[in-house]
Amino acid sequence: MHKEQIQLERLLDLLVLEASVNLSQQEREELNRLLDLFPEYTSDYFHKTTALAQVGFYLEDDFNNETLPEHIRKKTLYRHKKELGQSTVTDYLDHFMRTLFYRPQFAWALTVLMTIGLSFSMIEFKNYESNFRYLPLKKIVMEKTADDLIQYPWHSRTNDLGPINGDIVWSDQQQKGFIKIAGLPMNDPNENQYQIWIVDPLKHGQPVDGGIFDVNRTDKAIIIPINPKLPISKAVGFAITLEQPGGVVVSSEPLLLTAPKERPQETFPKV
Amino acid sequence: MSQCLGNITAVKKEHFVPMSSENTDSILQLIAKGEESAFNLLIEKYGNLVWSIGRKFLYKESDVEDAVQEVFIAIWKAAEKFDHTKASEVTFISMIARRRFIDYLRKVSKHRNLQSIDRDNGQELFKESILNQSTDLQLIKDAIGTLEIEDQELLKLSIYQGYSHSEISKLLNIPLGTVKTRIRRNLIKLKGLFDIKQRATVIELNNA
């Protein structure tokens, strides 16, 4: 066989491949070289033939009666609108929901994410005493859900403090509460820390430690969770003192704030 | 423009009155003229064909879904290149669809298998519309009919089902060289038949 005939047959092989499957880079380079040798041929030599044959086989295929799914039709129209720069927010949401519900993997992924998120939220709320995240939200949730909620404003017990705003909310049933305060001076945690006290005369002879906290900003109110170290039977009052770092079991420091204002003095830590 | 749209709607309402390739009201020409609603007509008329081709080439349904959208956008962008004296509308669309699906196939490298697929009897009517609309489609059916049954099967696997030559070789237990030779020979034969028809169509148009 002449060299030219061999080259022509190779060219036709590559053109057939080009029309039915994609060529590798090496094959494409070879095709281009051969096309230079046979300029009467073009790279799309068999394209129309294969396209027509494709339709012909399709028409003859009695077992292929597929129809374009409606959601694909709508997606395609959306993409067309997007190409034209005409898609609206409504179109986008419609497209998003359609994508979500017609792709099971997306729906499953969303379900898993929501489950993880829900679990995380539950853990967050369950362990709210030990962390300080989302406190405003947690406070609101407790205020909305506690049946026995008590709420008192803070009152200053010393002239050394400026104006104090804020309150305390507590639920005996839930054994938790929050204080909200604005106006307390910032403290240096290395030198001292504020400590919360819960007055429960029915069960405890001494005020119960409600946890320590720091004030590191004065521009807005802070919210602190109350962490009672002992079970509370019925809280009747709350106080705040300034103690050594880490707090104390029994306070000997003066009361800074109390709530409510009218309290049986004997129930407060000794001054 | 509304006149053109009216004609196309009429074609649909009258259940597929033949629309010859020289018809100036083709959907692609309307798209090329900037008629936005023509894109809807394009999907309505050729959606099943393009979807069907995609299902043959690609294995994963999500790939077909993405690729079909790309195909229609590509057709829309290429509409102004459509020349009814060189190819019928369905041929033009099929060519673009094939190229896109082949590109996509290369990307995902997964082949659709030969298992049976969903059926919808309403599709028969759609096929008839394609057959009637373009005069060269009957020719292709006749031309394929001139090939040996075994050769038809080879071409079907290669062109219609999208199998590579080596896959066909394994599938039919035929040497790879034989597969290549027979596919090449039969494509050349089909091309010859189509080109004869094409020349006849151009002469008809010039004489009209």
What's the distance, CA B177 to chain centroid?
Answer: 28
Distance from CA of B62 to the nearest CA of A (A): 8
For residue B68, pLDDT beyond 90: yes
Run of H or E residues at A258: strand A255-259
Beta strands in A65-218 (DSSP E): 150-153, 155-156, 165-171, 176-182, 193-199, 208-213
Return the number of other C-beta atoms located less than 10 Å from residue A69's C-beta. Answer: 17
Q: Does A76 touch chain B (CB under 8 A)?
A: yes
Q: Does A85 touch chain B (CB under 8 A)?
A: no
pLDDT digits (tens, 9 = 90+) for B11-36: 222 222 333 444 456 889 899 888 87
Comparing CB atoms, the residue among A16, A55, A66 nearest residue B123 is A66
pLDDT digits (tens, 9 = 90+) for B87-108: 778 888 988 998 888 888 777 7
| Structure confidence at residue A244 (pLDDT) | 92
| Structure confidence at residue B43 (pLDDT) | 92
Return the number of other C-beta atoms located less than 10 Å from residue B166's C-beta. Answer: 12
pLDDT digits (tens, 9 = 90+) for A127-165: 544 556 677 888 888 888 888 889 889 988 888 888 888
Domain B135-208 has CATH 3.30.70.580: no
Q: Are residues A52 and B190, on separate chains, in Cβ contact within 8 Å?
A: yes
Sorting pLDDT into bands at 50, 70 and 90, what band is A209?
A: very high
Report whether A182 contacts A164 (CB < 8 A). yes
Start and end residues for every CATH 1.10.10.10 domain found in chain B? 135-208
Range with lowest mean pLDDT among A50-54, A172-176, B38-42, B121-125 = B121-125
Rounded to 5°, the CA angle B66-B183-A45 comes to 70
| Structure confidence at residue A132 (pLDDT) | 64
Tell me which of B92, B94, B142, B197 to substitute to probe the interface with A (most A C-beta atoms closer than 10 Å): B94
Start and end residues for every CATH 1.10.1740.10 domain found in chain B? 1-133
Q: Which residues of B touch A54 (CB under 8 A)?
A: 53, 94, 98, 159-160
Return the number of other C-beta atoms located less than 10 Å from residue A104's C-beta. Answer: 10
Q: Which residues of B touch A12 (CB under 8 A)?
A: 184, 188
Distance from CA of B43 to the nearest CA of A (A): 7
Return the number of other C-beta atoms located less than 10 Å from residue B19's C-beta. Answer: 21
Q: Does A119 touch chain B (CB under 8 A)?
A: no
ipTM over 0.95: no
What is the rounded distance in angstroms from the CA atom of residue A181 to the CA atom of residue A160? 16
Per DSSP, A133 falls in state: T
| Structure confidence at residue B137 (pLDDT) | 66
Interval A121-130 mean pLDDT: 57
Of residues A105 and A28, which shows the higher confidence score? A28
Q: Which residues of B touch A63 (CB under 8 A)?
A: 116-117, 119
Run of H or E residues at B204: helix B176-207
Q: Are residues A67 and B90, on separate chains, in Cβ contact within 8 Å?
A: no
Q: Which residues of A touch B143 (CB under 8 A)?
A: 56
| Structure confidence at residue A94 (pLDDT) | 64
Q: Are residues B159 and A60, on separate chains, in Cβ contact within 8 Å?
A: no
Report whether A249 contacts A197 (CB < 8 A). no
**What is the fold of B1-133?**
Rna Polymerase Sigma Factor; Chain: A (1.10.1740)
Percent above pLDDT 90 for chain B: 22
- Give the right CATH number for A137-267 from 4.10.280, 1.25.40, 3.30.70, 2.60.40: 2.60.40
Interval B144-173 mean pLDDT: 88
Of residues B134 and A256, which shows the higher confidence score? A256
| Structure confidence at residue B183 (pLDDT) | 92
| Structure confidence at residue A30 (pLDDT) | 94
Report whether B92 contacts B82 (CB < 8 A). yes
Percent above pLDDT 90 for chain A: 24
| Structure confidence at residue B9 (pLDDT) | 31
Interval B69-73 mean pLDDT: 94
Q: Which residues of A touch B182 (CB under 8 A)?
A: none
Tokens 């679990």 label which residue?
Answer: A119
Report whether B143 contacts B194 (CB < 8 A). yes
Task: Quote the mean pLDDT of chain A.
Answer: 82
Interval A108-134 mean pLDDT: 70
Q: Are residues B73 and A48, on separate chains, in Cβ contact within 8 Å?
A: no
Interval B131-143 mean pLDDT: 64
| Structure confidence at residue A65 (pLDDT) | 67
Task: Quote the mean pLDDT of chain B.
Answer: 73
Q: Which residues of B touch A46 (CB under 8 A)?
A: 187, 191
| Structure confidence at residue A242 (pLDDT) | 92
Q: Are residues B73 and A13, on separate chains, in Cβ contact within 8 Å?
A: no
Report whether A228 contacts A175 (CB < 8 A). yes
Residue in chain B nearest A82 by alpha carbon: B73
